[in-house]
Amino acid sequence: KLRIFNHPDTDKPWDADLLQCKFGILVVSQFTLQCVVNKGTRPDFHQAMKSELSLPMFNKFLAVLRSKIPNSDHLVQVGEFGAFMQVHIQNDGPVTIQIESPES
């Protein structure tokens, strides 16, 4: 329950989570692959997880996410796994948050 949104009642910044705001979430697999650029002039994606492993992990993530969000069939939208997609977004603010598990 990361509090990254303005509170819907008080408008206080960084004081409400996704559920409190009743927002939906779009889950897109491999939207941005993290790569290494410390050698040569091209990005290196060799450490990216293979589809045979990443698809089950992605599906497990979706199952956990849907179990925690009421009305998830409406609020959790999913892109097609591994597809080339054009996603149009509008960012609201200059903030990027990278979340890593304790195992990383």
Active site members: 32
**Residue 22 backbone class (left: φ over 0; alpha: ψ -120 to 50; beta: rest):** left
Q: 29, 62 in Cβ contact below 8 A?
A: no
How far from 44 is each of 31, 40, 85, CA to CA, in Å?
16, 9, 21
What residues contact residue 76 under an 8 Å CB cut-off, 6+ apart?
Answer: 24, 25, 27, 62, 65, 66, 69
Please name the amino acid found at residue 78: V
